[in-house]
A and B are shown apart, each in its own frame.
Chain A
Amino acid sequence: MSDHGKIRELLALSAADALTRAEEEQVMNHLRTCPDCSAEVDRWRLLAAGMRRLPTPQPRPVIVERARAQAAIRLAEEAEHRWHRIVMMSVILFAWAMTLISWPVVKLVSGGILGMLDPGLNHAWIAFAIFTTIVWASGGAAAVFLSLQQRRERSLA
């Protein structure tokens, strides 16, 4: 493609201010010596100016107000979810802490101070481990069930 042809390809982008500085300089240099391209770029500039002057349609005020109300509700819901997550995490951490602390207590009660030093498992330990597992599994299942129910209710709302 000749220089003229290459420059002509750039004229629309020049009118859109979408060329690099080097490309723009190249176009400007060519325009000084080529009346044909100069007239062509003027036509592109008129079109670009027309595009920039298109009227701005506006949303109806009731729609803006509705968008604001819906977004405000969602902001409040998001804040509530974050708070729920914090509470849930705190409860879980507390429950784990209590569980871990209660193990040596059970061992102390079931075997005395010497029993705490005994690394072996006795019946009380095994019963406690089973009990803890059941409690945690039930709690986890309840939390998952409640979360799914809440999500379903939210999607229906």
Chain B
Amino acid sequence: MGLESEVAQLQRGDLDALSALLARYQNRLYRYLLRLVREPAEAEDLFQQTWVRVAEKIRQYDSKRNFEAWLFTVARNIAIDHLRRIRPESLDEPIPGMPGESPGTRLPSGERPVLDGIMDRERSGRLAQALELLPVSQREVLTLRFEEEMKLEEIADVIDAPLSTVKTRLRRGLDRLRNTLETNYPGEVWQ
């Protein structure tokens, strides 16, 4: 069953379509929410709220619009409301300091790194930690571009901002990310 038909069936209240869409997007949506709020417990709560909101609003979804962008917009609105409630200061402020083990880098239980992958895993962990230090506005653009592999136009749609703003946040986010990594781990290769 294709995405369009799953969405159309969900608009008719089909529970199988709900399951199919959940299976299709569960990891990506959770990852995005986790990157935004950084705490797994909060991300799980927002994940559930997002799907409830999707069930509420799916009949209002315009099929001419990109479904992924719509879905991530729903998740983003819920996450931003949540962040404003718990951290009313500006969402553009960077997070000070370098955290310890990052919840956002935890892997699914049962996955055991092989010896060859340990260094990669450590580097990824540090990269994810540095990502968490960015302001939400830059962090979300980086995760949408590199992890969700969205086009710039789609990102602009999700965050409801002009393309130029997306590019600026992307460049500033990358600058800050690299600066953090080079300061904290000089000489490290970040591939």
Contact = CB atoms under 8 A, between A and B. Distances in A.
A57 B30 contact: yes
Contacts, number: 132
A53 B27 contact: no
B106 interface: yes
Contacts of A43: 178
B56 A18 contact: no
Given A47-B174, A58-B30, A66 B59 contact: no
Given A56-B27, A58-B27, A74 B55 contact: yes
B146 A52 contact: yes
A68 B147 contact: no
Which of the listed residues B107, B146, B167, B189 has the most CB atoms from chain A within 10 Å of its own CB?
B146
Interface in A37-54: 43-44, 46-54
Given A55-B121, A56-B27, A18 B145 contact: yes
Contacts of A50: 123-124, 127, 190-191
B13 interface: yes
Interface in B147-191: 147, 149, 152, 167, 170-171, 174-175, 177-178, 181, 189-191
A101 interface: no
A63 interface: yes
Nearest to A61: B26
A63 B167 CA distance: 34
A66 B147 contact: no
For the residues of A in contact with B, the DSSP-based class is: helix
A70 B147 CA distance: 27
Nearest to B29: A59
Contacts of A70: 48, 51-52, 55
Interface stretch (B15-23, B63-71, B76-84): B15-23
B55 A55 contact: no
Nearest to B174: A12
B7 interface: no
Which of the listed residues A55, A63, A70, A71 has the most CB atoms from chain B within 10 Å of its own CB?
A71
B152 A68 contact: no
Contacts of A72: 15, 18, 55
A19 to B, nearest CB: 9
Contact of B107 (A13, A18, A57, A75): A57
Nearest to B152: A18
Given A50-B127, A57-B104, A67-B51, A79 B13 contact: yes
Interface string A1-42: 000000001001101101000000000000000000000000
B66 to A, nearest CB: 18
3 smallest CB-CB distances across A and B, nearest first, come from A51-B146, A74-B55, A59-B30
10 contacts: A13-B170, A16-B146, A16-B170, A18-B167, A46-B189, A48-B174, A57-B104, A70-B55, A75-B15, A75-B55
